[in-house]
Structure 1
Amino acid sequence: MESNHIFLTGYAKLPQGITAKELYAVIAVGVVVDAKTSEIIDADCTLATALAKRIVKDLLVGLKLNELDKIEKNFKVHYFGSARKAILSAVKTCNEKYRQILDGADELIED
C-alpha cells in the first residue's frame, strides 16, 4: 500500500428480505483512500454476489470520499439494489472516520 493510502470501514444495517441480510446482520464497506486527495483507490463490501460487489466498487473507485453528494448521485443513477441506503450510510461512516483522521493527524497529508 502507498504511504499516503489509508483503509477505512463503515457499517450499516441491511434491509429485511435480501440475501445479504440472511448472511450478515450489517453491510460492511471498506475503502482505500488517498489521504492527500480523498480519492477512493479501491473498495469492497459484504454483499452476497460478486456482481453486486463489483458494481459497488465500480461506483466508488475514482470518486472522492469527501464529495458525498457525487457518490450519492452516482448510486441514485446506477444502483437500484435494495441495499443502496445501507451502502450509502456505510460510506458516510467511512467519510466521518476520514475527516476525524485528518483532523487529528495532519502529518498524513503533508509532503
Structure 2
Amino acid sequence: MNNENIVFIAGHARLPEGMAAQSMFQTLTVTAEIERQYGVILQCSCTLATDHGRDFINQMFRGYSLKNGIDAPIRAIHSNYSGKAKNAIIAALKDLYSQYTTLPTTDS
C-alpha cells in the first residue's frame, strides 16, 4: 500500500492483573489506521485475548474523527464495554491520541 494519507498509530497501557491477555502481554496495545486529513479511524485493533473483543473494539472506534478529540470514544467505552481491561483500553486510547496530536500536519 502506498497511501500517504493514512497513518498507523499505536497506543499502549499496562494491563490489570488476572486477565487472560495479561498472561500473554504485559501491556494492552490499541492500534489504528487513521485517515490523516480528517483524522477518521478507518480500522482499529487491540491486543485483547479474543477475536470477539478485538472486533468489538474495531466496531466501537471505527468512524470517529480524532480531530474532534478523544472524549466521544472514551464515553463509548464507558457506555458499551464492561470488562477488566476498560481502564487499560482508555489509557491506550489516550496514548494513541497523544501520538496522533504530534503528527506533522499535511496542510499545504
Same fold (TM over 0.5): yes
Kindly indicate whether the alpha-carbon contact (under 8 Å) linking 1:27 and 1:45 is maintained by their aligned counterparts in 2.
yes
Distance in 1 separating the partners of 2:14 and 2:99: 18
TM-score calculated relative to the size of structure 2: 0.91
Distance in 1 separating the partners of 2:102 and 2:48: 27
Distance in 1 separating the partners of 2:32 and 2:107: 17
- Kindly report which structure 2 residues correspond to 1:1-111, keeping only aligned pairs within 5 A, or say none: 1=1, 2-66=3-67, 67-101=69-103, 105-106=104-105, 108-110=106-108
CA deviations 1:51-81 (Å, max 9, x no partner) are: 1101111111011224211001111111001
CA separation of 1:19/1:109 partners in 2, compared to 1, >3 Å: closer, same or farther?
farther
Kindly indicate whether the alpha-carbon contact (under 8 Å) linking 1:35 and 1:109 is maintained by their aligned counterparts in 2.
no
CA positional deviation for 1:109: 4.0
Structure 2: unaligned runs, 5 residues or longer: none
How many residue pairs get aligned? The number is 106
Structure 1: unaligned runs, 5 residues or longer: none
Q: CA RMSD in A?
A: 1.2
Distance in 2 separating the partners of 1:57 and 1:74: 12
TM-score calculated relative to the size of structure 1: 0.89
- Aligned-residue sequence identity (percent) comes to 25
Distance in 1 separating the partners of 2:88 and 2:74: 12
Q: Report the 3-state secondary structure (helix = DSSP H, G, I; strand = E; otherwise coil) of the residue aligned with 1:32.
A: strand
CA deviations 1:16-50 (Å, max 9, x no partner) are: 11101111000111101111111100011111000
